[in-house]
Amino acid sequence: MLKIADITKTYDNGVKALNNVNIEIPKGLFGLLGPNGAGKSSLMRTIATLQQPDTGSIQFDQINVLTQPNELRQRLGYLPQDFGVYPRVSAHDLLDHLAILKGIANKAQRKEAVDGLLAHTNLFQHRKKAVSGFSGGMRQRFGIAQALLGDPDLLIVDEPTAGLDPEERNRFHNLLVTLGEEKVVILSTHIVDDVSELCPNMAVLGNGQILLQGNPLDITGDLNGQIWRKTVSIDEAAELENTLPVISKRLFAGRTVLHVLASDAPEGFESTPATLEDVYFSTLHNSRQNSQPNSHSTQAA
């Protein structure tokens, strides 16, 4: 459905944001996972017609996204990573305004859709208040509502759940799953759980490159039996990191839990089932290992 081929983008300041990105995205939810600064937002904006790459092409259905941005915008819903709003305009008025811009001309239909979306995002009771006065989470929900206007065929949501409380996050996830079947939904995030909960397909973006792509279950399964765990003190952890391929390290009750990727169990480690998080971290770990000779970055965390 959405075909991204050979996309490369270097910014004026020399930062290579996207480096030969190739993905094909079918209908349904697609998770784009990556750490801060990996190029997720650059990719999202490029697909959302807001930025032109240096090279490459993007095809959605029959639309060449890069040369026919107006046609794509008819079918696009986009939630940017962060956004502001016009001052002094109420949630209802602003959403109605955006609905007209989206092209919903019929007044009755528009009212139904606007009210419905406000209800779905739990903003209906706040609809007469200015969006500029909303809290971060409410504003984010407004962003979600506007992205869903006009029943887009391509929905791009960049870090949608940032700032949402768990209840709202669940509500949003449910909404996405309901809507997601007939559309292409690209969900960019750095939260692994979002992807593992929602997405039948995913990719990991690091340093502007696609590092991994596939079905979360499949790629997690590939790592089964290779992930080992040990709970140690902070001092020990530092020592082990120098000797073993530690892909993640987290605190649990004041002690450090290390995950190591290896075919055989290192000494004192126990086997643990692979999770998507392990996949994600190991991918990033590998990517850093590969680029290490060229950089003098500090030890992988």
Site residues (vs other proteins, CB under 8 A) = 11, 45, 48-52, 67-70, 73-74, 76, 78-80, 82-88, 97-98, 100-106, 109-110, 112-113, 115-117, 119-120, 124-125, 128, 133, 143, 146, 148, 150-151, 179
Distance, in Å, from the CA atom of 84 to the CA atom of 139, rounded to the nearest integer, reads: 9
The count of residues in the chain is: 301
C-alpha 161, offset from chain centre: 9
Whose Cβ is closer to other proteins: residue 93's or residue 193's? 93
Whose Cβ is closer to other proteins: residue 112's or residue 239's? 112
Minimum CB distance to other proteins, residue 45 (Å) = 6
Distance, in Å, from the CA atom of 221 to the CA atom of 34, rounded to the nearest integer, reads: 20
Minimum CB distance to other proteins, residue 248 (Å) = 31
Whose Cβ is closer to other proteins: residue 88's or residue 255's? 88
Minimum CB distance to other proteins, residue 58 (Å) = 14
The answer to whether 219 and 196 have CB atoms below 8 angstroms apart is no
Whose Cβ is closer to other proteins: residue 26's or residue 83's? 83
Whose Cβ is closer to other proteins: residue 21's or residue 104's? 104
The answer to whether 11 and 201 have CB atoms below 8 angstroms apart is no
The answer to whether 81 and 159 have CB atoms below 8 angstroms apart is yes
Distance, in Å, from the CA atom of 60 to the CA atom of 50, rounded to the nearest integer, reads: 15
The answer to whether 128 and 91 have CB atoms below 8 angstroms apart is yes
The answer to whether 234 and 214 have CB atoms below 8 angstroms apart is no
Minimum CB distance to other proteins, residue 195 (Å) = 23
Minimum CB distance to other proteins, residue 64 (Å) = 10
Minimum CB distance to other proteins, residue 34 (Å) = 19
- In angstroms, what CA-CA distances link 147 with 75, 127, 170, 202? 11, 17, 18, 21
Whose Cβ is closer to other proteins: residue 75's or residue 288's? 75
Whose Cβ is closer to other proteins: residue 116's or residue 225's? 116
Distance, in Å, from the CA atom of 277 to the CA atom of 247, rounded to the nearest integer, reads: 10
Whose Cβ is closer to other proteins: residue 120's or residue 249's? 120
90: closest CA among 125, 119, 59, 45? Answer: 125
Joined together, the tokens standing for residue 199 give 């997405």
Minimum CB distance to other proteins, residue 173 (Å) = 17
Residue 245 — φ and ψ, nearest 5°?
-75, 80
Residue 48 DSSP class: T
Minimum CB distance to other proteins, residue 147 (Å) = 8
